[in-house]
């Protein structure tokens, strides 16, 4: 069964025309669902209309004034920090720009490029030398016993270190 | 309900803190009521109302004097409460929460007061089952007596959206009310009928 437009008529607050009212009453006689909505809404509406406004606990505006002072202080503090960060950032940027300008005024870009390539090449050469020295040292025969002793020693030290860390962390938690 | 001297509003808009405190004093009840009806908890409502006034204070420059101040204020509070509702998924309504009705009662009959409180809590629980926006629309309509156009302005909705939400809220409320009443009367009947031997 169609409940429209009766459902809308029931829930709207506009005054119904006599024809609408007659049609609605006829529909309500035959439709249990709309009858339930009608009864439910009448009661709910009555309750809504009679419900009062709730007031806050006394002193609401005083609490607001107090919080206003605190919030403004916090806001001012935040603004100060923000200004400080902005100032520091601007200072850093200005210094970087100044340094770059100074460097560029004494050295030409071509010279800087050559120096940079030289530095990279030197770094690669040094790395190769380190690798060469390490490989040469490891080629000498090392006794198995020495290896075992070194490994055991390092393991014991690592265990001791981990145990100390664990103990300190547990004791710290217990003290709290 | 909230008669405010326009000069106070003017002073508040010019940055006068004392005038803004006067605004808080004048509008604390409707703002708190909206928050309370939306959130269902006194402590949360207090925080939300305080936060709403703080937001209003911070955004006073954005206030359009062509609109009633209370509509703008309630709009801030409603949006804040709707956001809160979105953030928390489950609403807890303390049954023992005491409803502090400070409006003067012409006939202080204890039975009548208790029954009114029960009815109010019952209504409160029914409304709590509605969606946040539907609830806001219903509260603004019935407690704050706003027109559909004012509600639409306050909640940034179209008037047809407000009508649709109002219809849905009323329908849900009517159905739940009727179901709850039927269950209550069934329980009552069971309690009073004689035991079967």
Is the Cβ–Cβ distance between B72 and B56 less than 8 Å?
A: yes
Binary contact (A40, B175; C-beta < 8 A):
yes
The chain A residue lying nearest B176, using CA atoms, is A40
From the DSSP assignment, how many helices (H) and strands (E) are in chain B?
Answer: 8, 0
Q: Give the number of other CB atoms < 10 A from CB of residue A121.
A: 10
Contacts of B55 in chain A (CB under 8 A): none
Q: Which distant-in-sequence residues (6+ apart) come within 8 Å of A81 by Cβ?
A: none
* Residue A92 confidence (pLDDT): 96
Instruction: Give the Cα separation of B117 and B123 in Å (integer).
Output: 10
Q: Which two tokens stand for residue B21?
A: 């405190």
Torsions phi, psi for A44 (to 5 deg): -65, -40
Instruction: Give the Cα separation of B38 and B27 in Å (integer).
Output: 17
The chain B residue lying nearest A42, using CA atoms, is B174
* Residue A128 confidence (pLDDT): 95
Residue A101 DSSP SS3: helix
Q: Which distant-in-sequence residues (6+ apart) come within 8 Å of A31 by Cβ?
A: A1, A3, A6
Instruction: Give the Cα separation of A110 and A99 in Å (integer).
Output: 18
Q: Which domains does chain B have, with CATH numbers?
A: 6-92+99-184 (1.10.1740.10)
* Residue A23 confidence (pLDDT): 79
User: For B90-119, what is each residue's pLDDT tens digit?
Assistant: 554 544 444 444 444 444 555 555 566 677
When the pLDDT of each residue in chain B is averaged and rounded to a whole number, the result is: 80
* Residue B46 confidence (pLDDT): 94
To the nearest whole Å, the CA of A80 is away from the closest chain B CA by 18
Q: Does A173 score more than 60 pLDDT?
A: no
B165 touches chain A (CB under 8 A): no
Binary contact (B173, A63; C-beta < 8 A):
no
* Residue A4 confidence (pLDDT): 78
| Burial class of residue A103 in the structure, from the number of CB atoms within 10 Å of its CB (0-12 exposed, 13-18 middle, 19+ buried) | exposed
Separation of CA B118 from chain center: 17
Q: Give the number of other CB atoms < 10 A from CB of residue B127.
A: 25
Angle, CA of B120, B123 and B129, to the nearest 5°: 145
Of A30-34, A58-62, B1-5, B173-177, the poorest mean pLDDT is in: B1-5
Q: Which two tokens stand for residue B156?
A: 């940034």
* DSSP state string for B104-142: PPSS--HHHHHHHHHHHHHHHHHHHTS-HHHHHHHHHHH
Is the Cβ–Cβ distance between A44 and B177 less than 8 Å?
A: yes
User: For A92-128, what is each residue's pLDDT tens digit?
Assistant: 999 999 998 888 888 888 888 898 999 999 999 999 9
Residue B93 DSSP SS3: coil
When the pLDDT of each residue in chain A is averaged and rounded to a whole number, the result is: 85
Contacts of B123 in chain A (CB under 8 A): 44, 47-48, 51
ipTM of the complex: 0.71
User: For B111-170, what is each residue's pLDDT tens digit?
Assistant: 555 566 677 778 888 888 888 999 999 999 988 889 899 999 889 999 999 999 999 999
Nearest one of B39, B121, B43, B123 to B88, comparing CA atoms: B39
Q: What is the DSSP letter of A54?
A: P
User: For B50-92, what is each residue's pLDDT tens digit?
Assistant: 999 999 999 988 888 888 889 999 999 999 999 998 887 655 4
């Amino acid at each position: 069964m169609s409940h429209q437009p009766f459902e809308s008529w029931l829930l709207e607050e506009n005054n119904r025309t006599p024809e609408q009212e007659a049609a609605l009453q006829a529909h309500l006689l035959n439709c249990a669902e709309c009858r339930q909505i009608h009864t439910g809404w009448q009661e709910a509406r009555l309750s809504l209309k009679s419900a009062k406004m709730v007031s806050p606990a006394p002193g609401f505006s005083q609490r607001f004034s107090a919080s206003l002072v605190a919030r403004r202080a916090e806001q001012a503090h935040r603004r100060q920090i923000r200004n400080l960060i902005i100032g520091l950032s601007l200072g850093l940027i200005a210094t970087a720009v100044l340094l770059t300008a100074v460097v560029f005024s004494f050295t030409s870009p071509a010279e800087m490029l050559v120096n940079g390539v030289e530095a990279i090449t030197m770094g690669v050469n040094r790395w190769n030398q380190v690798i060469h020295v390490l490989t040469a040292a490891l080629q000498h025969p090392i006794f198995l016993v020495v290896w075992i002793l070194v490994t055991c020693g390092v393991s014991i030290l690592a265990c001791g270190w981990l145990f100390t860390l664990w103990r300190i962390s547990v004791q710290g938690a217990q003290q709290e | 309900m909230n008669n405010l001297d326009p000069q106070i509003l003017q002073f508040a808009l010019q940055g006068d803190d004392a005038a803004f405190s006067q605004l808080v004093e004048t509008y604390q009840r409707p703002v708190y009521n909206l928050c309370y009806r939306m959130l269902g908890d006194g402590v949360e409502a207090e925080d939300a109302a305080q936060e709403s006034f703080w937001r209003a204070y911070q955004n006073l420059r954005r206030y359009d004097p062509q609109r009633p101040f209370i509509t703008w204020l309630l709009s801030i509070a409603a949006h804040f409460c709707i956001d809160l509702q979105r953030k928390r998924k489950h609403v807890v309504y303390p049954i023992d929460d005491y409803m502090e009705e400070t409006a003067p009662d012409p006939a202080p009959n204890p039975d009548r007061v208790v029954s009114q409180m029960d009815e109010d809590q019952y209504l409160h629980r029914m409304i709590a089952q509605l969606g946040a926006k539907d609830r806001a629309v219903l509260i603004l309509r019935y407690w704050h007596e706003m027109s559909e156009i004012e509600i639409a302005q306050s909640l940034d909705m179209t008037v047809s959206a407000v009508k649709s939400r109002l219809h849905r809220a009323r329908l849900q409320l009517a159905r739940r009310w009727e179901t709850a009443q039927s269950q209550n009367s069934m329980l009552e009947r069971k309690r009073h009928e004689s035991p079967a031997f």
